[in-house]
Structure 1
């Protein structure tokens, strides 16, 4: 089964981001706005149970932190993806780095660039028009992060929460 690890922003932030995503993001119906900590990976039941234990330990050692965005950017020319750039916070970078080693599968394709996708799979002309329009907007968002989520992908492509991990919580 395919899994991934993400941070979901709060509902008000998701609503604001979805105002753009519903027009420009082909994955709008498949997953809510999110910040990817660990890109999609394959795992069997035994491996995922080990990873859940590891994720609980990581969450327990992690304190809440704030994320913020202040500009629109793009991954062009590699892909025609447009995103909200999430400012680099050391805690966020450390969290993402932790999920690339140890018991976690080594599957990192690109360097960690904290972002929330707002448009993807656009043609060259669409990308140029949408990016030109969105980068003129002042989209400043701030949110407190107090948990991350292990997701799995259903047969229809939709991602759903397998388990959520709240920061600083003890577990048995």
Structure 2
């Protein structure tokens, strides 16, 4: 059985501040670059080729799109999120479509999808509140063009390894 996930890895001109915050608050910061999760980690025996074919069937209906992230907020009393300000609808559409077909059994109906980059998960309530106060006025915006979806395999050490990239449909109008 393999543990995999489907992500978008935004390419920003300056990612240093994002990575600085992640290095401080995210225990996975050295295992996976800043990303937006489309399909959360799942374990299955589904062959990689079938998952990639499924991603391709979704990607052919979506054109590359602009993405803007800005503002840090908290979630669930424990997570720090960098929020999507532009491109949200495309990310939600990708998320919803990817969780159909062969990946439908892995969708958690108790979870409302809210696209973001996780900046961290401070270890306790005090550290969480302090981090939120520290970054509440941080207004830097991050812009990019999303052109592909990435399939990753997650190793036992939680290191994510790219096993496939699927381009969005550049010819779709």
Q: What is the TM-score when the length of structure 2 is the normalising length? A: 0.88
The answer for the alignment partner of 2:89 in structure 1 is 90
Aligned with 2:102: secondary structure?
A: coil
CA distance in 1 between counterparts of 2:68 and 2:7 reads: 16
Pair 4,13 (structure 1): closer, same or farther in 2 beyond 3 Å? farther
For residues 99-138 of structure 1, what are the structure 2 equivalents within 5 Å? Answer: 99-109=98-108, 110-138=111-139
CA distance in 2 between counterparts of 1:14 and 1:98 reads: 29
The farther-off stretch of 66-75 and 9-18 is 9-18
The answer for the alignment partner of 1:71 in structure 2 is 71
Whether the 8 Å CA contact 1:41–1:105 is kept in 2: the answer is no
Deviation at 1:32, TM superposition (A): 0.5
Q: Structure 2 unaligned segments of length 5 or more: list them.
A: none
The superposition leaves residues 124-156 of structure 1 with CA deviations (integer Å, 9 ceiling, x where unpaired) of 110010111111211211111011100001122
Whether the 8 Å CA contact 1:35–1:115 is kept in 2: the answer is yes
The number of residue pairs the alignment matches comes to 167
The superposition leaves residues 52-97 of structure 1 with CA deviations (integer Å, 9 ceiling, x where unpaired) of 11112222222000111221111133xx110101125322211111
The answer for the alignment partner of 1:53 in structure 2 is 53
Runs of 4+ in structure 1 displaced over 3 angstroms? Answer: 13-16
Deviation at 1:7, TM superposition (A): 0.2
The superposition leaves residues 84-120 of structure 1 with CA deviations (integer Å, 9 ceiling, x where unpaired) of 0112532221111101111114333311100001111
The farther-off stretch of 49-58 and 109-118 is 49-58
Whether the 8 Å CA contact 1:17–1:118 is kept in 2: the answer is yes
Deviation at 1:36, TM superposition (A): 0.4
The answer for the alignment partner of 2:165 in structure 1 is 164
Deviation at 1:169, TM superposition (A): 6.7
Q: What is the TM-score when the length of structure 1 is the normalising length? A: 0.88
CA distance in 1 between counterparts of 2:154 and 2:99 reads: 20
Q: RMSD over aligned Cα, in angstroms?
A: 1.8
Q: Structure 1 unaligned segments of length 5 or more: list them.
A: none
